[in-house]
Structure 1
């Protein structure tokens, strides 16, 4: 299995997905936009993972490679490549398909619950409720043809699916204790008291079982997408 990752900043990597993919013999390659925006010339991989970052999908004026990335995402969808978007990645997929991405009424930073939404059979099913890791200030409208998979008290669209092979997650199931620490170290200035913004101690002080639960769910999403 060949996997390509679009990584926007050094401190938001694929987290628990790395071990999951390695255990299944996957060959993982990266486009790291913070090193250079070069994208593969050919879509010769089985799974494309689009990761998060502190920028906005609307920052094309200052980050012109965002336009190129969105075209690349559209091409991958048109060619039937399995595609997973995480946080900014989910917003990029939505924007690439013409949906609006905009400021959310509340930032969500920390551990907060999501609820599964009812939808037709065949789509991925989240647990009825589960607590996941969030770090975002924007939200999005659903792209045309998307099925809503989950919502939260703050965001109506927390997860969606398009067809059988495209899933967008506004939240982070891949987060590990190490990657949570790294995000806090790099984005701690955003921890301004708010209704849905936890403190550093609250974010980093969760039990190890919190990571185990979301990482297991991350593996279930990947298994669903690639049929393993």
Structure 2
């Protein structure tokens, strides 16, 4: 059986809608939290598939989160080996850092459902599956494009997805979110963050109800195509 390891940076940001296509592709899914003492010794190269999920911290906040340099160093070895790796939001920023790029606070916060602009390369990639579909955004950090990476999607403010070959995919937005009840935990602690982006928990909750299911359906199609194309 193929193995998939999900790395969670906070308990309420799990693999969500991506679990189904990962299991459909024949992977046995395991999970580890960065707060687990065992994370310091976990092998991030060994799993057949590694999925790095989101979190409210920044890659540069190493004093507050001393596990970050360890994670980036381990992830750098995996990226260098081109082992199948999917990074979402903070996970995407971790992939960028592991590939040698700078991660830093962006000019604005993007929070809420909105479509992304798919690039020409993106239309030939799994990101084509979310073309025109409003997906969840919840980010304020950004990154320089790693050497050798291809931009697949963007918004006016940020790169939203890039790939490094067929096996490394980084997605800044959240096409896995749309039916996960843990979204309430995002809202509970995110009122001030949402306000900076010009929205409210009430608006986000309403959009999650109506736009969430089609978003996660498109996100699953994205994941299925990416998994099917792994080298």
Q: Deviations along 1:4-43, whole A, 9 cap, x unmatched?
A: 1111011111111223334444211122012333342363
Instruction: Tell me the C-alpha RMSD between the 2 structures.
Output: 2.1
Residues 1:172 and 1:207: Cα distance change in structure 2 (over 3 Å)? closer
Alignment of 1:12-161 (within 5 A): 12-36=13-37, 37-41=39-43, 43-119=45-121, 123-126=125-128, 127-155=130-158, 157-161=159-163
Task: Tell me, in whole angstroms, the C-alpha distance in 1 between the residues paired with 2:141 and 2:57.
Answer: 10
* CA displacement at 1:209 relative to structure 2: 5.1
Q: Deviations along 1:38-81, whole A, 9 cap, x unmatched?
A: 34236332210001001110012232211111111111122332
Determine if contact 1:85/1:168 at 8 Å carries over to the other structure: yes
Task: Tell me, in whole angstroms, the C-alpha distance in 1 between the residues paired with 2:101 and 2:90.
Answer: 14
Please state whether the residue corresponding to 1:206 is helix, strand or coil. Answer: helix
Task: Tell me, in whole angstroms, the C-alpha distance in 2 between the residues paired with 1:135 and 1:65.
Answer: 22
Alignment TM-score, normalising by the size of structure 2: 0.88
Q: Deviations along 1:74-122, whole A, 9 cap, x unmatched?
A: 1112233211100000011111112111111110111122110122885
Task: Tell me, in whole angstroms, the C-alpha distance in 1 between the residues paired with 2:189 and 2:123.
Answer: 40
Alignment of 1:192-203 (within 5 A): 192=195, 194=196, 196-203=197-204
2:213 is aligned to 212
Q: Deviations along 1:102-159, whole A, 9 cap, x unmatched?
A: 111110111122110122885434244321101111111111111111111222x111
Task: Tell me, in whole angstroms, the C-alpha distance in 2 between the residues paired with 1:146 and 1:25.
Answer: 28
2:228 is aligned to 227
Structure 1 unaligned residues grouped into runs of 5+: none
Structure 2 unaligned residues grouped into runs of 5+: none
Alignment TM-score, normalising by the size of structure 1: 0.89
Name the one with the larger helix percent. Answer: 2
Determine if contact 1:110/1:197 at 8 Å carries over to the other structure: no
